[in-house]
């Protein structure tokens, strides 16, 4: 039983649900420190279930409680999608039928309440940023960047780096309840693409956030630098403010030298350890970017309409990005799903894994790739694929298990012997 959630927020989400109950569902991933429910509105043609082959997407807003624009925009988005769906907007209908969209307007409702309770002009750069324990949630995630950087040098896994994830989370006393809830959420749902919404600047930021050398500014490319840039641009290009090359920095002395076309590498901008964005990429299959949506962290409510106008197209278009690259199923020869099979792309040092139905989604920019599927006890299969910008290309794998292979070989051997013996008459 939770404590109170933001009344207004809940009211808005409930309204969307009441209006579109066949395509929405409200659920909670846990409670904040002060007992507020971390609410999610999911939108899909079959809310509440993962449909095999259907990619999962999420938006998370307001993890810094005083960065309020994202929170409001996510609610507007929910209303928009519901309205457009009912009004027959084909692309929206298609999007909702082919994607499972999860919308969490506020990951830090405690911080938000604190920030919101300040009187008008004094909304502070910091008050309400952290959760109720004073924890900056975007520094609170396990730092997997350090591990992957080590693995880059010395060898080791390039994906799913949090070993014994469940145990690590349950027993880690440093994790805020909000952080824990989101980590469990990430473990449970096979998210493919995601964005977390912030304020205080205007740019689309992509991994890695933490610099390799530890310096404060350093371009820190992930193995998927190419697709990340493309994803970030897919957001910024529809936001006239974000993509405006003449845009002045939010504050006079801001260093936005790393911004181009409205996007920036995280480390090049400034190093952030323990952030949620990189955690997604390094602990799961989810590719996440960070969207900074407003110079003003907590602007007056009459500006929201403008922010919505600036971001609506970007927000919708970014969801559509989940349908890019390569996707399909990995099954065994009997057609059974192989869960946790690895999908490797030659030249990209980051593998993803199949979900419970054997389904996978590998985001890739346009180009030619060699994609291989591997699972322990199975023979690896490699396929060549030409990938367009979009939509995603369907590539399924049927993997022969090693046992089967042995059986086959034995049979072949027997056949040969039989033939020999017949020929030679013994």
- Give the catalytic positions in this structure: 292
- Other CB atoms within a 10 A radius of the CB of residue 382 amount to 12
How many whole angstroms separate alpha carbon 266 and alpha carbon 269? 5
Residue selected from 304, 337, 366, 381 as contacting another protein according to rule CB under 8 A? 304
Q: Which range binds another protein by CB under 8 A, 227-235, 307-315, 327-335, 361-369?
A: 307-315
- Minimum CB distance to another protein smaller for 105 or for 328: 105
**Cβ neighbours for 66, distance < 8 A, ≥ 6 positions apart:** 111, 112, 114, 115, 123, 124, 125, 126, 127, 128, 129, 199, 297, 298
Residue selected from 37, 178, 201, 310 as contacting another protein according to rule CB under 8 A? 37
The size of the interface with another protein (CB under 8 A), counted in residues, is 64
3 state DSSP class of 235 = helix
Shortest distance in whole angstroms from residue 106 CB to another protein: 10
Q: Which range binds another protein by CB under 8 A, 106-114, 151-159, 329-337, 370-378?
A: 106-114
- Residue 127, interface with another protein (CB under 8 A)? yes
- Residue 113, interface with another protein (CB under 8 A)? yes
- The helix/strand count (H/E) of the chain reads as 12, 16
- Residue 7, interface with another protein (CB under 8 A)? yes
Residue selected from 110, 209, 224, 332 as contacting another protein according to rule CB under 8 A? 110
- Residue 2, interface with another protein (CB under 8 A)? yes
Pairing of strands 326-332, 393-394: parallel
- Residue 389, interface with another protein (CB under 8 A)? no
Residue selected from 68, 137, 175, 399 as contacting another protein according to rule CB under 8 A? 68
Q: Which helix (H) or strand (E) holds 265?
A: strand 263-265
Q: Phi/psi of residue 309, each to 5°?
A: -60, -40
Which of the 8 DSSP states describes residue 76? H
- Residue 375, interface with another protein (CB under 8 A)? no
Strands in 191-198's sheet, in edge-to-edge order, are 24-31, 37-43, 100-104, 56-61, 191-198, 287-294, 201-206, 263-265
Residues that bind another protein (CB under 8 A): 1-2, 4-12, 14-21, 26-28, 37, 39, 68, 71-72, 75-76, 79-80, 83-84, 86, 105, 110-111, 113-114, 116-120, 122-124, 126-136, 301, 304-305, 308-309, 312
């Amino acid at each position: 039983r939770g404590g109170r959630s933001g009344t207004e927020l809940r009211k808005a989400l409930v309204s969307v649900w009441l209006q579109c109950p066949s395509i929405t569902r409200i659920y909670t991933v846990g409670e904040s420190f002060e007992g507020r429910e971390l609410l999610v509105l999911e939108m899909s043609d079959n809310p509440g279930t993962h449909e095999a082959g259907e990619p999962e997407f999420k938006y998370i807003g307001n993890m810094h409680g005083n960065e309020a624009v994202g929170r409001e925009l996510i609610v507007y988005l929910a209303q928009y999608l519901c309205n457009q769906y009912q009004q027959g907007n084909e692309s929206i209908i298609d999007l909702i039928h082919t994607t499972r969209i999860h919308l969490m307007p506020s990951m830090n409702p405690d911080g938000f309440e604190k920030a919101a309770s300040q009187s008008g002009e004094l909304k502070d750069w910091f008050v309400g940023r952290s959760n109720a324990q004073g924890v900056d949630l975007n520094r609170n995630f396990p730092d997997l960047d350090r591990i992957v950087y080590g693995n880059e040098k010395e060898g080791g896994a390039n994906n799913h780096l949090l070993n014994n994830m469940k145990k690590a989370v349950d027993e880690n006393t440093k994790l805020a309840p909000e952080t824990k809830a989101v980590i469990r959420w990430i473990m449970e749902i096979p998210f493919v693409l995601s964005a977390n919404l912030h304020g205080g600047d205007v740019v689309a930021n992509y991994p890695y956030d933490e610099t390799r050398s530890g310096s404060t500014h350093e371009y820190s490319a992930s193995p998927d630098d190419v697709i990340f840039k493309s994803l970030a641009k897919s957001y910024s290009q529809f936001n006239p403010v974000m993509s405006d090359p003449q845009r002045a920095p939010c504050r006079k002395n801001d260093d936005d030298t790393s911004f181009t076309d409205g996007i920036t590498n995280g480390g090049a901008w400034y190093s952030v350890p323990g952030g949620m964005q990189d955690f997604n990429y390094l602990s799961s299959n989810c590719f996440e970017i960070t969207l900074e949506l407003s110079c003003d962290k907590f602007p007056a409510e009459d500006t929201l309409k403008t922010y919505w106008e600036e971001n609506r197209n970007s927000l919708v278009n970014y969801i559509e990005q989940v349908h890019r690259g390569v996707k399909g199923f990995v099954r065994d020869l009997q057609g059974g799903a192989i869960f946790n099979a690895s999908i490797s792309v030659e030249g990209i040092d980051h593998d993803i894994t199949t979900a419970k139905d054997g389904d996978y989604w590998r985001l890739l920019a346009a180009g030619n790739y060699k994609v291989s599927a591997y699972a322990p006890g199975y023979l690896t299969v490699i396929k060549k694929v030409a990938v367009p910008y979009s939509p995603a290309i369907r590539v399924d794998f049927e993997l022969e298990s090693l046992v089967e292979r042995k059986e086959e070989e034995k049979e072949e051997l027997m056949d040969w012997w039989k033939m020999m013996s017949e020929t030679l008459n013994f």
